[in-house]
Chain A
Amino acid sequence: MSNSSASNRFVDRIGRERLSRIALYVVMYGIAIAFFIPFWRMFQLSVTPAGLVASGEFFLIPSDVTFAYWERFLVQEPIIYQWAFNTFLIASITTFLVLVVDSMIAFSLTRLKWPGRSVVLGVILASFMIPGYVNIIPLFTVVNNLGMVNSYWAIILPFAAGPLGVFLLVQFFRDIPKELEEAARLDGFSPFRIYAQIIMPLSTPILTALGLFVFIWSWNQFLWPLIVLNNDQLYTLPIGVVTLRSVNALAPNVIMTSLALASLPLFIVFLLFQDKLISSVQMQAGTG
């Protein structure tokens, strides 16, 4: 490259490359800081005394700090523990159910030969076209008729049979070599043992990724729990923090503390499983 251009052009090119490198850092870190500001605002307000908030002035670091609001939620009004427990329970059961039910049907569709299985797969994949929210009114009447309103099952069951898990697991199971299974069959393994002792252990990576994604999705569900829950002992965190807002309409620092507490668990999950979670998002692009 260098022998084809004059030496001053070469220097110029090095200078330009360094300049564009600097610009790249400025842009990328600038956006990162902009993305961080709302988090900072949340944390900042949660430790700012009410008097300072009421002054309505703009500040980055509050001149005075209090942990009274954190104490209020953690010690004095511990309803947030109940909500966290509800959310955790619902998200865990949903994740477990999705993994079991989806892996069973994916096993059936890829490893067992029965007439009509390709039609079944086609129908399930076609349901990708139906966005979850368009159906909420008839779905509510169904759940209501089953007597499940105001119970955890109303949140767990309706979205447990989604197409995403089936799609991902079918692709993964297809690539597991047939030989393993044939050897096991010669050893007298039943289909159930092949599923439980061969296919499932081999699929740990994809099951973890799918499970993590389902867990976070379930934890963050908003519209549907809002419809089927109306008892504050049963609320999940996403619903609970909204009702707190209407009670504490004029105290942003109280609200911000509840939000910080509500988002903390998933933040920890994200910190621990950053790579796993991001790769579980990336897998989904294959569904397009």
Chain B
Amino acid sequence: MAENVDTATANTSSGFFNRFISERSTRELIIGLLFASPYLTLFAVFMLYPLAKGLYMSLFEWNFLRPSESTFVGVGNYARLLSDPVFWNALWNTLEFVAMTVPLIVGLSLVLALGLNKELVGDRLLQFLYFSPYVLTVSVVGLIWVQMFAEGGIGTFLLGSLIEGSPLNSNLWAMPSLVITTVWWQTGFYFAILLASRQNVPERLYEAARLDGAGPWRMFRDITLPHMKNGLLFVVIASTIFQFQVFGQPFVMTRGGPSGETQTLVYYLYQLGFETRQLGFGSAVGYTLLAILVVVSALNYYIVGTNNE
């Protein structure tokens, strides 16, 4: 590629002045595209094309082994989805998971960020401990917490008086167990972002407020929160979108059980695509999930954006 670019440079500098302008812009287009093409090729093949193909597939009863023998069903897959109890159950479970996880993660990471901003002894160690679960992979996280919730585990030890056996086998406690696991795993990431956001609030604002006799709560409400608005907005939206796609925790810890209580949307997507091979219907579920996520992030942006005004 270096050679191509070098000859292009040589051509113009040797100079046909009357055709200089147009030649120059074609040359710029060629060099520009040369630099962009590796990314654009990957982007087209693995992002744009599957996106279009998914929409197409969702209109068929897709035959995985012989795609040409797929049957066109129009919006049939979407109609089927509306009357599919498994889909509604998965959607409900996902919403339940998000509704518990996101406030806990945002709240806890805010507490940690505000606390660590106060120059504590050993703050690097604390930061290390809060963040460290985030560098683990979801399967390691899931399997550790399976043991936490097993007999003799600390999780069960603490919840012991409330339930018998492992909470992962309890209809009521399985989902909250996945929530606790996720909060442990993910909080460090959002804590790091909020810590940076808090450290960007100018200290002189607090000094001025203190001189005016403002208490801690007023300073928090009138200075800290408004100045951390962008950080908080990012944390709420990013964690909502990420948690909506929960898969590894139920896959590793509960297999979607007990009796479907922890089956989530992406888990259902996985089962349709790679266990029962209903690729057409699965694509319809994927597209529905995409639509839900676009609406959710727009709503999030709207609600969080106006509340902190």
**Which stretch from B85-93, B168-176, B188-196, B217-225 is at the chain A interface?**
B188-196
Q: Is the pair B147, A252 in contact by a Cβ cutoff of 8 Å?
A: yes
| Contact present for B46 and A288 (CB under 8 Å) | no
Q: Do A24 and B120 touch across chains, with their CB atoms under 8 A apart?
A: yes
Check A241 against B192 for contact (C-beta < 8 Å). Answer: no
Bound complex: CA A135 to CA B247 (Å) = 14
Binds B, one of A38-46, A69-77, A175-183, A200-208: A38-46
A285 & B293 in contact (Cβ 8 Å cutoff)? no
B208 contacts the other chain (Cβ, under 8 Å)? no
Our count of residue pairs bridging A and B at CB distance below 8 angstroms stands at: 283
Contact status B273-A285, CB under 8 Å:
no
B36 touching A238 by the CB < 8 A rule? no
Proximity bits, B101-122, A CB within 8 Å = 1, else 0: 0000000100110011010110
Q: Which residues of B contact A41 (CB under 8 A)?
A: 144, 147-148, 153-154
Give the complex CA separation of A107 and B38 in angstroms: 13
Please indicate the chain A residues that have their CB under 8 angstroms from the CB of B130 in the complex.
31-32, 35
In angstroms, Cα B114 to Cα A42, docked, is 30
Q: Is the CB of A39 within 8 A of B40?
A: no
CB–CB B143/A259 < 8 A:
yes
Q: Is the CB of B144 within 8 A of A38?
A: yes
CB interface residues, A 237-282, toward B, < 8 Å = 237-239, 241-242, 245, 252, 255-256, 259, 262-263, 266-267, 269-271, 274, 277-279, 281-282
| Chain B residue nearest in CB terms to A260 | B140
Which of B5, B133, B286 interacts with A137 by CB under 8 Å? B286
Partner of A133 from the list B42, B148, B231, B247 (CB cut-off 8 Å) is B247
Interface range on chain A: under 10, 10 to 19, 20 to 34, or 35 or more? 35 or more
Closest B residue to A117 by beta carbon equals B32
CB distance from A82 to the nearest CB of B (A): 17
Q: How large is the interface on B (under 10, 10 to 19, 20 to 34, 35 or more residues)?
A: 35 or more
B116: chain A residues at CB < 8 Å are 28
Residues on the B chain within 8 Å of A24, using CB: 115, 118, 120
* A222 in contact with B126 given A133-B266, A191-B35 (CB within 8 Å): no
Closest-by-CB residue of B relative to A37 is B154
A219 surroundings in chain B (CB, below 8 A): 137
Q: Which residues of B contact A234 (CB under 8 A)?
A: none
| Given known contacts A112-B35, A161-B47, A252-B147, A238 and B140 CB-to-CB distance under 8 angstroms | yes
CB interface residues, B 262-293, toward A, < 8 Å: 266, 269-270, 272-274, 279, 282-283, 286-287, 289-290, 293
- CB-defined contacts of A57 to chain B, threshold 8 Å: 152
B56 to chain A, nearest CB (A): 8
Q: Are A56 and B152 in contact (CB under 8 A)?
A: yes
| B25, B51, B244: residue with the most chain A Cβ atoms closer than 10 Å | B51
Q: Is the CB of B39 within 8 A of A38?
A: no
| A4 to B132 alpha-carbon distance, docked (Å) | 47
Minimum C-beta distance from B159 to chain A (A): 12
How distant is the Cα of A132 from the Cα of B269 in the complex, in angstroms?
A: 13
Closest to A142 in B: B50
In residues 90-134 of chain A, which contact B (Cβ within 8 Å)?
A: 100-102, 104-105, 107-109, 112-115, 117, 120, 124, 127, 129-134
Q: Does A10 contact B (CB under 8 A)?
A: no
Instruction: Tell yes or no: A27 within 8 A of B by CB.
Output: yes
Is the Cβ of B137 less than 8 Å from the Cβ of A238?
yes
Interface residues of chain A: helix, strand, loop or mixed (majority): helix
Give the chain B neighbours of A104 by CB distance below 8 A.
Answer: 35-36, 38-39
Query: Which residue in A29, A45, A262, A270 is a CB contact (below 8 Å) of B140?
Result: A262
Contacting residue for B40 out of A120, A140, A142, A221, CB 8 A: A120
With A131-B241, A267-B132, A288-B230 known as contacts, the answer to whether A138 contacts B283 (CB < 8 A) is yes
In the bound complex, do residue A101 and residue B273 qualify as a contact, i.e. CB atoms below 8 Å apart?
Answer: no
Q: Complex: how many Å from CA A190 to CA B177?
A: 58
Knowing A35-B129, A41-B144 are in contact, say whether A134-B139 is a contact too (CB < 8 A).
no
A288 touches B234 (CB 8 A): yes
A and B contact pairs by CB, cutoff 8 A, 18 listed: A31-B112, A35-B133, A38-B148, A58-B153, A58-B157, A108-B31, A114-B32, A130-B51, A134-B269, A134-B290, A141-B53, A157-B46, A190-B5, A219-B137, A242-B143, A263-B140, A270-B135, A279-B196
Chain A interface (Cβ within 8 Å of chain B)? 1, 24-25, 27-29, 31-32, 35-39, 41-42, 45, 53, 55-59, 100-102, 104-105, 107-109, 112-115, 117, 120, 124, 127, 129-142, 157-161, 166, 188, 190-192, 195, 216, 219-223, 227, 237-239, 241-242, 245, 252, 255-256, 259, 262-263, 266-267, 269-271, 274, 277-279, 281-282, 284-285, 287-288
- Additional A-B contacts beyond A42-B147, A191-B35, A266-B136 (10; CB < 8 A): A31-B130, A37-B148, A105-B38, A114-B28, A137-B279, A262-B140, A263-B135, A270-B128, A285-B193, A288-B238
